[in-house]
Structure 1
Amino acid sequence: MKLVSFVRHGRPGFGVVAGDGVIDVRPRLPLFHTLLDVLRAGALDEVRAATADVRPDFPLADIALLPPVVGPEKILCIGVNYGNRNEEYKDNSEAPKYPSMFFRTPGSFVGHGAPLIRPPESEQLDYEGEIVLVIGKEGHRIKPGQAKDHIAGYTLCNEGTIRDWLRHAKFNVTQGKNFDRSGSIGPWMVTADEIAYGKPLHLTTTVNGEVRQDDTTANLIFDFDYLLSYITIFTTLKPGDMIVTGTPTGAGARFDPPKWLKPGDVIEVTVPEIGTLRNGVEDET
């Protein structure tokens, strides 16, 4: 299934994508107001049964998409997680022994089709195409072989970053990673049963049609099994939590001169098994 969260005629909802349309889940399963409610209840099979062989209620074009999971407890992002990413920094450091991590707020992300917002404080808005794991089952100290049982599905992220604000402090990147509406998640969550676990996923990021990032998860330094087992040593993952798994080489900051995003640009993050996350850029007003 492809599951979306949306606003239609001012009303929030969630549904299942069927072709170019959406099956509205809330009227059919009124106990669940959001996709997060479904994940917390472990009720994806109920959604599947309630929407089987049902005609769409309205076209996709008639809704404004939100990030697939609205209001998660945690959005945990992984840095420097593709081969050659460490070399991009040109600081002669060894390959990382452990993942780099930081949290992002839900308000720092918009959905598919909404503009990324460049703030007046900086012109250094950058893109980072990434694959996102959506957690469906609570877990603490998850063993690597059990990781796939905790993943409800997959979505995509443009982990938009204000680069100069990453360097405002000595040891953290929180400021540059959390400007309101600077990144995006979507367009939908593809349930885990649709994608063979461990299959290499081919990720590309384009800006105005130009390919900037192109890699596969076969090149991950820390794979999905390792990430879930490592993360759950120090925190319990809850249904609806999202893990943004890292970006390949080719972000705008790595060009000479850098290629920052500007109003009018269109960024597309694509994994064929998941879809394409597309966003434009606007200045904050």
Structure 2
Amino acid sequence: MNTPKLVSFRVDGQDHYGLITDDGVIDLSSDFGGRFPTLREAIAAGALEELVEAGKSRTPTWSEDAVTYGIPVPNPARIICVGVNFPDRNAEYKDGSSQPKHMSLFPRFPSSFTGHNCPLIRPPENHTLDYEGEVVVVIGKGGRRIKAEDAYDHIAALTLCNEGTIRDWVRHAKFNVTQGKNWDKSGAIGPWMVPFTDPAQLDDAKIMTRVNGELRQEDELKNMMFPIREEIAYISTFTTLEPGDIIITGTPTGAGARFDPPKYLKPGDVVEVECPGIGILRNTVEDE
């Protein structure tokens, strides 16, 4: 087993968690479910390493095509997204503004996300479904007013997000994007999470998004206006972070809305969000 890949998934209508390997999916919830009903409880207990070690001696329980992926951390208490966090993204607005003093934040609900290999859903009310590829940090150790220099000590794992957006609906109000960011199953998180063990996993990371094989987004996390250490410090100033909380860290330039004409997602499209060392989150698009 190389990089451990912890997954939440369903088989025959039952929720499970475990490890995914090249040979299939290893179920761990049958043995550890009494202690950790989901991976969220395992994160809170600091038990991800224990799960990984237990999985090393086991053979796969199911083939990958027999399972349905879920969000790696089910029902997180907080999903907080950082908006407009790359300099080129700020320039896309063409309003002449310099880098803002503080980061833009908004919440998303767990129901607005689906898992890896599951379709993003385009609603009938509006067809401006757009993609945003991002790296996600999963909080392992909670805290309030966390110092930036200590922030990495609070990360348990990393995963990816396609922070799907109904663009017309983010313009329904002057200071509010929430309604455009929370359509059911409009985005995805996954495909799995990898334990965070080395600062280089973030400091040297690159995020890419492809639509039908065409590279649309590509940038390095070191170019963020508000680095992940600062994100954790700033967010934990006003809310106490808890194990299993998710921070979606920001997307580069290249979303569909910024093309002329816009390139919004349509049924049949395949969107891939990739970060080497984490994986590739892949989703198709379907109409509701």
* Counterpart position of 1:2: 5
Separation (CA, whole Å) in 2 of partners of 1:97 and 1:184? 29
Q: Which residue of 1 aligns with 2:40?
A: 36
Q: Give unmatched runs, 5+ long, in structure 2.
A: none
Structure 1 residue 196: Cα displacement: 2.9
Secondary structure of 1:112 counterpart: coil
In structure 2, how many angstroms separate the alpha carbons of the residues matched to 1:123 and 1:198? 34
Percentage identity across paired residues of the two chains: 56
The answer for unaligned runs of 5 or more in structure 1 is none
Per the alignment, in what secondary structure is the counterpart of residue 168 of structure 2?
Answer: helix
Q: 1:221 aligns with which of 207, 215, 225?
A: 225
Cα deviation code 1:39-93 (max 9, x no counterpart): 1222223212322222222222210000100010000000011121110011112
Superposition TM-score, scaled by structure 2 size: 0.96
Match of 1:61 among 41, 48, 65: 65
Change (3 A) 1:278 1:138: same
| SS of structure 1 residue aligned to 2:229 | helix
Q: Is 1:115 the counterpart of 2:95 in the alignment?
A: no
1:133–1:242 CA contact under 8 A, matched in 2 = yes
CA distance in 2, matches of 1:197, 1:124: 33
Q: Distance in 2 between matches of 1:174 and 1:183?
A: 13
CA distance in 2 between partners of 1:145 and 1:194 (Å): 14
Across the aligned residues of Structure 1 and Structure 2, the Cα RMSD in angstroms comes to 1.2
Per-residue CA deviation, residues 219-265 of structure 1 (Å, 9 max, x unaligned), is 11111111111111000110110000000000000001100100111
Q: Which residue of 2 aligns with 1:164?
A: 168
Matched letter for residue 186 of structure 2: S
Deviation at 1:10, TM superposition (A): 1.2
The residue correspondences of 1:242-253 to structure 2 (distance < 5 A) are 242-253=246-257
The equivalent residue for 2:17 is 14
**Residue type of the alignment partner of 1:15:** G
Deviations along 1:4-46, whole A, 9 cap, x unmatched?
0000111101001222312111122232121011012222232
Structure 2: how far apart are the matches of 1:253 and 1:101?
Answer: 20
Residues paired across the two proteins, number: 284
Is this contact kept in 1: 2:87–2:99, CA < 8 A?
A: no
CA–CA separation in structure 2 for the residues paired with 1:198 and 1:168:
34
TM-score (normalised: structure 1): 0.97
Contact 1:28/1:50, CA 8 A, preserved across alignment: no
Report what 2:203 is aligned to.
Answer: 199
Query: Which residue is 1:173 aligned to?
Result: 177
